[in-house]
Structure 1
Amino acid sequence: MESSKRNIYSFKFKDPDLRSLRNLVSQMHPVYKINFGKNYGNLLSILNQQVDHTALITLAQFYDLPLRCFTFYFQLAPTLE
């Protein structure tokens, strides 16, 4: 049985400055926030989320472009007792 080695890619993620956008949302009238929520769902909550870049890089290593999904290869071995 021949094992295949996965290609490892280098990824760089931009960390945009969202302070001005958060400030703009905080100045919105509550009625506009409600209407925005009706049209686009809970999209504004993304502005307050913290991003773990290590998790993104790790998940990106397992993304399979042709299949458009994540594939995880696990090596299963019997446990010797």
Structure 2
Amino acid sequence: TCKPDHLGFMLSVTGNTSLKELPIPPSLLRITLVTGPEGGLTPEESAILQNAGFLSLRMGNRILRTETAALATIAALQMHWGDF
């Protein structure tokens, strides 16, 4: 379960939050990113994560390969939050 200092999100082509809309908790200490296989997470997996407080993040219309999705998302987060 996500706590106030923890941001958890899963990547999904049908996600309801974009990177620009992603909330940044004021005392952010931890980020958990869940990427699924190239076919995406199952509805059951998505439901479990949503019940645990994870946001469904949409990174655009392109479907990334599993091995690059996490790296691309981390780089995008760092650009968005000014870490670069």
TM-score by length of 2: 0.23
**Structure with greater proportional helix content:** 1
Bigger relative contact order (CA 8 A; separation at least 6): 2
Larger Rg: 1
